[in-house]
Amino acid sequence: MAPAGEAVLEVRDLVKHFPLTQGIVLQRQIGAVKAVDGVSLDLHKGETLGVVGESGCGKSTLAKLLMVLERPTAGQVKFNGEDIYSLKGKAFKAMRRNIQIVFQDPYSSLNPRMTVGDIVGEPFDIHPEVAPRRDRRRKVQELLEVVGLSPEHINRYPHQFSGGQRQRIGIARGLALRPDVIICDEPVSALDVSVQAQVINLFENLQSEFNLSYIFIAHDLSIVRHISDRVAVMYLGKIVEIGDESQIYGAPSHPYTQALLSAVPIPDPTQRDRKTQIVLQGDVPSPANPPSGCRFRTRCWKAQDICATEEPLLTIRPGISHPSACHFAEQAQIVETHDAEEFGLNQPVPTPDDDDLVEPGTLP
């Protein structure tokens, strides 16, 4: 499924620190929130890259950086080989056409004072070269049809639509300029489960029709699994594990990924007791003061001295099929998958033994 084609988007060592300042007139920096701290990934043409992680791990900041709604502290993002942060003027505006975003909240992503026609047609106002003025109305109606809305709704206002329909309007706006890449920042987490499925199907249909590449940010693991070709797991501003869908779900190797997957509910009551949940202790540390070495060590049951001193790099480790940022990475099967056998995994789930649990703060 994953086409190993050319990379549309190459993200290299992307860093975003938000300065923490003190003082009213003469502000001095007393620290920084390391929202995104050295993220590298590739997005191939026609592929969906899922990005998962809990709240505050930097997923949305990553989306904003890719959209150039924020400027990075360091690092670069290449779109078709060109660094998007060094583009200026016309070239920058042209680049905007190729990367679009769909937001999480369909209630705040549409201007309540504009009609649907104005909202979906706004991209054509900003980039008049895309469509001549007389064609715009027709184009907007086509777009509404593409996303499954009636073209007659062109004169309605957003508050006359349901959440799912509003999200479709947002998708139509994102599609208007025929972008190559769409960043989906939790596009279904504000929707009902039944509507989620419709919108996910819409995303998949649009992808095959227009050869779109998606970066699909979400915290719902089953949705990401359904839609993604590859998955990146983020923790505290870093990618801890990246691989294709079957590798991440069938043979997760990073303890954090394993813990995340063990939290996915099993839709079979008879299996429920057989499942071992890995319950993580403590909270996510503050991104303003992340732990030394491995950032996950304060909550990891495998943590040793080396984890505090040496930062594990995101590389392919012996015996593991995909890059993982853990010194003690080992593949395990956490959830039932059809792909599990191909990795030859039948060992039991590594359960964190209470004695082995390292309390946060007691580490060197």
Partner 1 sequence: MSDPTASAAGVTGTLEGHAGSPPTTAEPGREKPRSLGRDAWEDLRHNWVFWIASVLILILIVMAIAPGVFTSASPTASDLDVSRQGPGPGAPFGYDLQGRDVLARTIYGARASILVGIFATAFATIVGSFMGIVAGYYGGWTDTIVSRLTDVFFAIPIFLGAILVLTSFPSDENTSQVAAYTKVAVALAIFGWTSTARIMRSSVIQVKQADFVQAARALGASNSAIIRKHVLPNSLTPVIVVATISLGGYIGAEAGLSYLGIGLQPPVISWGIAISDAQTYLRVSPHMMMFPIAFLSITVLAFIMLGDAVREALDPKLR
Q: Judged by CB, which is closer to partner 1: 152, or 353?
A: 152
> Which residues face 19 on adjacent strands?
32
Part in contact with partner 1 (CB under 8 A); list of ranges 14-22, 143-151, 225-233, 265-273:
143-151
Name residues contacting partner 1, limited to 209-268 (CB under 8 A). Answer: 209-210
Q: Phi and psi of 215, rounded to 5°?
A: -110, 115
Q: Judged by CB, which is closer to partner 1: 163, or 285?
A: 163
Q: Phi and psi of 63, rounded to 5°?
A: -60, -45
Distance CA 126, CA 215 (A): 24
What is each CA distance from 61 to 45, 69, 73, 110, 182, in whole angstroms? 23, 9, 12, 20, 15
Q: Judged by CB, which is closer to partner 1: 175, or 261?
A: 175
Q: Which residues of 325-353 are buried (b: 16+ CB within 10 A; e: fewer)?
A: bbbbbbbbbbbebeebeebeeeeebeebe
Q: Does 152 bind partner 1 (CB under 8 A)?
A: yes
DSSP, res 352: P
Among 155, 270, 346, 362, binds partner 1 (CB under 8 A): 155
Part in contact with partner 1 (CB under 8 A); list of ranges 169-177, 217-225, 277-285, 289-297:
169-177
Name residues contacting partner 1, limited to 40-99 (CB under 8 A). Answer: 64, 67-69, 92-93, 96-97, 99
Q: Judged by CB, which is closer to partner 1: 168, or 230?
A: 168
Determine which helix (DSSP H) or strand (DSSP E) holds 158, and give its type and residue range: none
DSSP, res 260: H
53 residue type, one letter: G
| Structure token pair of residue 317 | 């480790």
Name residues contacting partner 1, limited to 290-349 (CB under 8 A). Answer: none
Q: Provide the binding-site residues for partner 1, judged by CB under 8 A.
A: 25, 64, 67-69, 92-93, 96-97, 99-101, 103-105, 108-115, 119, 122-123, 125-127, 139, 142-143, 145-150, 152-153, 155-157, 159-162, 164-165, 168, 170, 173, 175, 177-178, 194-195, 198, 201-202, 205-206, 209-210
